Structures are given as structure tokens and as C-alpha cells.
Amino acid sequence: MGRFLFHCVQEASIDGWLHPLNVLKDKHPDLFAQHVRKYEGREYVIKKRIPIFDCLWNDVLFLSAISPMEVVQALKHVGGDPPPLKYYLITDRAIELDQCIVYLYEHEDHEDPSQYVRYTPEMITRYASLPDKTLEYYREAIASGDHPLLYRYVPHFLYRGSVWVGNSNVLTAEVVDLDSS
């Protein structure tokens, strides 16, 4: 059985393909405008360069090895009320090795070359759990009334190119209340 990476289902899928923002900017400016809004107040992020690939953050797709179910359950555990989220399950076989790197996200310096490593499929298993630092961030953000970024301090799989999701399964991640009987 293959390993899976996850990407939030959005309208950025065109004819079954997921595209990086800069591809949308050229081919579908309306979708680009819609999706670039998530960076309001953090516009500096999309201007950052990615070592190894020497491209912008907008030139890659951001994928995660962490099950969205783990994310929503962690948010609920620390007092959040996450809405259901839909994610594509992308098999590791859909990823070209030389077009993927992992941003370790151990600290806030996005330009530190030591935070970027070449991808191997085994990394999907290695980075499939939420880091303690992310859980603490969730706790602090929710306690202060903020909406946390879901993948802060989580290793990001950065894919330079488009990914076929036309036949991908979609997972809906929502809180499961195991205490109610």
C-alpha cells in the first residue's frame, strides 16, 4: 500500500489538476485572486525564495503528511471548534522525486537552507505526526482567541509542479466526539 500526502480541496483544481498559485496567476487570474487572499496580512510569505529550488513560495504546492483527522482532533482537544475540512489523498506515486523537497519548519526563518531537504518517500512516514510545538501553538492561539494556522511548525512537502487529483480520494476531516453515548 502506498503512502499519502494531503492537500486541502479547493477550487484551484482545474480539469483534475492542482496547480501552484503562480500557475493560476497566468492561466486563471480569477482563481489566483481568490486563493491569494489567504495570505492577507502575510504577503511577505509569497515573496520568499525556496532554497534548493530557487523559486518563490507561489511556485510550489504545499502538501502535508499529517492526516487532517489528527489536525482537527488536536484543535478540538485544545479547545478549538474546527469546521469539517476536505482533503485530497495524494499517493506518493504521484510525486516526482526530483520535484519535491521538505521544508522542516523547525523555526521561523523560512530562508535558512538547513531547513530544506531533498524528499524521499520514507519522509511521509517520518513526518506523519503533529509536532509538540504545533500543539502548543494551537493551545496558545485558541486561548488568546486567534484562529491558528493549521500547519505552523509542521514539515511541509513542497512540490514544484502540478499534481493530478482527478481520481484522488477525498477525505472529510471532522471532529469525532468519542465521549458522547
- Domain annotation covers residue 178: no
Q: What's the domain count of the chain?
A: 1
- Domain annotation covers residue 147: yes
Q: Give the pLDDT mean for 19-32.
A: 87
Q: What is the pTM of this model?
A: 0.89
Give the pLDDT confidence of 77-107 residue by residue, as tens digits: 999 999 888 999 999 999 999 999 999 999 8
- Domain annotation covers residue 125: yes
- Domain annotation covers residue 179: no
- Domain annotation covers residue 155: yes
- Residue appearing with cell numbers 495570505: 39
CA dihedral 8, 27, 155, 43 (to 10 degrees): -100
Cβ distance 120 to 175 under 8 Å? Answer: no
Cα dist from 13 to 9, 91, 161, 162, 166, whole Å: 8, 16, 13, 10, 8
- C-alpha closest to that of 17 among 165, 170, 176: 165
Q: Is the pLDDT of residue 57 over 60?
A: yes
- Domain annotation covers residue 115: yes
Range of the structural domain that residue 43 is part of: 4-173
- Domain annotation covers residue 77: yes
- Domain annotation covers residue 88: yes
Q: Give the pLDDT mean for 93-122.
A: 94
